[in-house]
Structure 1
Amino acid sequence: MEVSTMLQQAAELMAIGMATVFVFLTLLVVIIQLMSFSVRRFFPTKKSTATTVEVVASDTISPRLVAAITAAIHQHRQQQH
């Protein structure tokens, strides 16, 4: 076999492989978008009823907030050990 023939076959194989991967990834993206659309359409999210935290426009931090943060950090460190 000649070198040019082998290079031509290698280029064709590479092109086929790249085209296959491109088509597969394109189909994957389209399918994921369709699934996302169907989930959002048939299973809409419910509105959250969570209360908002009031932000105090003050330079000082509330002692209750400091105590809550300290307790949370202590509890987190206890769970790590």
Structure 2
Amino acid sequence: MVAQLLLEAANLMFIGMVAVFAFLLLLVFVVQLISKIMQRYFPVKIADKAVRIDAGSNGPSPAVIAAISSAIHQYRKQQ
């Protein structure tokens, strides 16, 4: 009786693991397919990437740096 229950449990475990593996494999293929479709019909322009990189490399303005420095100075003065 115990051996039969263990065999049934192993069978259910195997079926469950195969089902999860199949689902994950299907998910990987679907994501790759969607990625290829998006790249084909909606390509990323190289100029857009260059503009975003240049816009973010300027850093904070001097006014922001002055405000942060002032806040740090006041905080340290209180302690």
Same fold per superposition (TM over 0.5): yes
State the distance in 2 between where 1:4 and 1:52 align.
68
Computed over aligned residues only, the root mean square deviation of the Cα atoms, in angstroms, reads: 3.0
Between structures 1 and 2, the one with greater helix share = 2
**Gaps spanning 5+ residues in structure 2: where?**
69-79
Superposition deviation, residue 46 in structure 1: 1.3
Aligned to 1:47: 46
Aligned to 2:33: 34
**Gaps spanning 5+ residues in structure 1: where?**
54-64, 76-81
**1:11-42 C-alpha deviation (Å, 9 max, x unpaired):** 00000000000000000000000000000011
State the distance in 2 between where 1:18 and 1:42 align.
36
State the distance in 1 between where 2:43 and 2:13 align.
44
Give the TM-score, by structure 2 length. Answer: 0.64
Match of 1:71 among 63, 68, 79: 63
Superposition deviation, residue 9 in structure 1: 0.1
State the distance in 2 between where 1:72 and 1:43 align.
38
Q: Which runs of 4+ in 1 moved over 3 A?
A: 72-75
State the distance in 2 between where 1:23 and 1:43 align.
30
Instruction: Give, as a single letter, the amino acid of the residue that structure 2 aligns with 1:72.
Output: V
Equivalent pairs, count = 62
State the distance in 1 between where 2:64 and 2:31 align.
39
What secondary structure does 1:72 align onto?
Answer: helix
